[in-house]
Amino acid sequence: MAEENKNSAPAKTSTNAVKKSEGKLPFFKRIGKWFREMRSELKKVIWPTPKQTTNNTVVALAMMAFSAVVLWGFDTLASLAVQTLIDLV
């Protein structure tokens, strides 16, 4: 069995299978191709349901509000610290 594998010739690979296009497509054909490809890609997208969209929007708005409060708190503490240092001097 091992002898059979040694005697068999290795499979030849051809580089002719991968060819580049002959040249650049005209402008309007490129635009048409782009729209066709975009349409086929958009068919693959799994769009969120209205409930998921609402939930994601609420979460994003809540995180922005929380971040704003945290930044406001740090800013208030920093300005208080700077004002205290200025009053000491």
What pLDDT does residue 78 have?
97
Grade residue 23 by pLDDT with cuts at 50, 70 and 90: confident
- Segment 69-88 shows an average pLDDT of 96
Q: What is residue 39's three-state secondary structure?
A: helix
- What is the separation of C-alpha 17 from the centre of its chain, rounded to a whole number of angstroms? 31
- pTM surpassing 0.75? no
- Segment 54-60 shows an average pLDDT of 98
Which tokens is 83 given?
């004002």
Domain boundaries, the chain: 48-89
Q: Which residue would you say has higher pLDDT here, 1 or 11?
A: 11
Residue 10 has pLDDT above 70, yes or no: no
